[in-house]
Amino acid sequence: MSLNVFLGSCILGCDFLLYVLFQWIYGERHRKHARRVAARREKRRTLSAKPSGHPRVLQFPERALRYRPGYF
């Protein structure tokens, strides 16, 4: 009987620690930050939705290897 109580309290303790961990990671502060990021993204999306002139085609650079990162 005492072993069952001990195991039950250990499981409840672990559940509580997981709850605290998730509140710490995904708490109110991060929710406010996520709202600000979403608002910025939406603002950018509305600004970029404006029709600009004719679409342009970018030319491929003549010496493309010069612009590539890394070692050759």
Q: Looking at the domain assignment, is residue 69 inside a domain?
A: no
- Compare 35 and 10 and report the one with higher pLDDT: 10
Domain tally, the chain: 1
The string of pLDDT tens digits covering residues 17-69 is 999 998 888 877 666 677 788 888 888 877 766 666 677 787 877 777 766 66
Q: Is residue 14 part of a domain?
A: yes
Predicted pLDDT at 37: 82
Confidence of residue 71 (pLDDT cuts 50, 70, 90): low
Residue 47 falls inside a structural domain: no
Between the alpha carbon of residue 63 and those of residues 30, 44, 58, 60, 70, the distances in Å are 45, 33, 15, 9, 15
70: region left, alpha or beta (phi > 0 left; psi from -120 to 50 alpha): left
Residue 20: predicted pLDDT: 93
57 phi, psi to nearest 5 deg: -105, 125
Report yes or no on 23 lying in a domain: yes
Q: Identify the pLDDT of residue 13.
A: 96
Domain boundaries, position 27: 1-42
CB 65 within 8 A of CB 72: yes
Alpha helices, H only, 1-72: 2-25, 28-48, 64-67
